């Protein structure tokens, strides 16, 4: 599978805002009531969102590099490139996750010259944890997001 990466454009962002994941992954759905705010968030260069495109330039997913990937309460003192990722709902659950994750890690390391990459995943999301484990990430920490009862895990990849 061959992918290319490009800074997220407005059309990509509008598609992503409409994506709907089935429960329990509906946790990752964007809220219809906050579309304008979420659009600004996705297009803000500080959040470094990229489109993951297939060879026909079709949007298959998105990723982010940096602060977007951090969750309040995690220990981020170690220098590492934080990665976030979401794949188009009709493409998930078919065993392709590791291919996207591998491509995102390669791209991130190249772009940011990172020595370590990090992901922060909701504890319930064993599927995502499995994908990052498949490409070499190891669990380092478990914590509860400040102001919630949601548990998260931090996984690290050493280049």
Ligand X SMILES: CC(C)(COP(=O)(O)OP(=O)(O)OC[C@H]1O[C@@H](n2cnc3c(N)ncnc32)[C@H](O)[C@@H]1OP(=O)(O)O)[C@@H](O)C(=O)NCCC(=O)NCCS
- Residues near ligand X, by CB under 6 A: 21, 25, 28, 85-87, 92-98, 100, 121, 125-128, 130-131
Least CB distance to ligand X at residue 19 (A): 9
Cβ closest to ligand X, residue 100 vs residue 107: 100
Give the residue closest to ligand X by C-beta: 97
Cβ proximity to ligand X, 6 vs 130, nearer residue: 130
Q: Which is nearer to ligand X, 87 or 114 (CB)?
A: 87
Q: How far is the CB of 75 from ligand X (least distance, A)?
A: 19
Between CA 122 and CA 40 the distance in angstroms is: 24
User: 55-67 in b/e burial notation, b at 16+ Cβ within 10 A?
Assistant: eeeebbbbbbbbe
In the complex, minimum distance from the CB of residue 131 to ligand X, in angstroms, rounded to a whole number: 5
Q: Which residue do the tokens 């994506």 mark?
A: 19
Residue with tokens 């992918």: 3
Supply 152's token pair.
């998260």
Closer to ligand X by CB, 92 or 114: give it: 92
Least distance (Å) from ligand X to the CB of residue 41? 16
DSSP-based three-state secondary structure for 79: coil
Q: Left (φ > 0), alpha (ψ -120 to 50) or beta: where does 22 sit?
A: beta
């Amino acid at each position: 599978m061959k992918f290319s990466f490009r800074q997220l454009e407005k059309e990509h962002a509008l598609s992503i805002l409409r994506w709907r994941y089935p429960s329990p992954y509906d946790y990752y759905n964007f809220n219809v009531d906050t579309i304008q705010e979420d659009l600004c968030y996705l297009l803000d260069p500080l959040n470094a969102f990229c489109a993951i495109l297939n060879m026909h330039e079709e949007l298959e997913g998105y990723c982010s590099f940096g602060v977007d990937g951090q969750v309040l309460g995690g220990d981020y003192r170690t220098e590492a490139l934080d990665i976030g990722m979401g794949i188009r709902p009709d493409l998930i659950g078919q065993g392709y996750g590791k291919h996207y994750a591998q491509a995102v890690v390669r791209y991130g390391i190249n772009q940011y010259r990172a020595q370590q990459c990090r992901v922060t995943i909701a504890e319930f999301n064993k599927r995502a944890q499995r994908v990052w484990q498949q490409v070499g990430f190891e669990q380092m920490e478990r914590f509860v997001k400040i102001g919630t009862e949601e548990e998260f895990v931090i996984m690290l990849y050493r280049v």
